[in-house]
Amino acid sequence: MTAKMRFTVLAIINILMIIIGIITVSVSISYLPSTGGTVPQEMTLEQYQAQQHQVLLNSTAFKWVIVGCCIIGTGILMALIRIYIDNQ
């Protein structure tokens, strides 16, 4: 496999990683639990906000959003490294 062909394969992998990451983030955002609403009488506003924050952070959808962002970041970082090596 020639060097130019190898860089082309890596470019395709980078593009696919970024697309998969974007799809993961987009789909996961739609499954995030809704927050807000009326504060129950037995709770203060701060307690209610803390509870809503914990529910959001503990949700599986939030974890998938983070995974998608990591995939996007890795794809971009790999692309930048590939471009840097290609320009040498």
11-65: pLDDT as tens digits? 899 999 999 999 999 999 999 998 888 889 999 999 999 999 999 999 999 999 9
- Strand, coil or helix: what is 43? coil
Number of domains in the chain: 1
Query: What confidence tier does 5 reach under pLDDT thresholds 50, 70, 90?
Result: confident
Reported as half-sphere exposure (CB side, CA atoms, 13 A), residue 53 has a value of 6
- Spatial distance between the Cα atoms of 74 and 10, rounded to a whole number of angstroms: 13
Structural domain containing residue 17: 3-87
pTM to 2 decimal places: 0.81
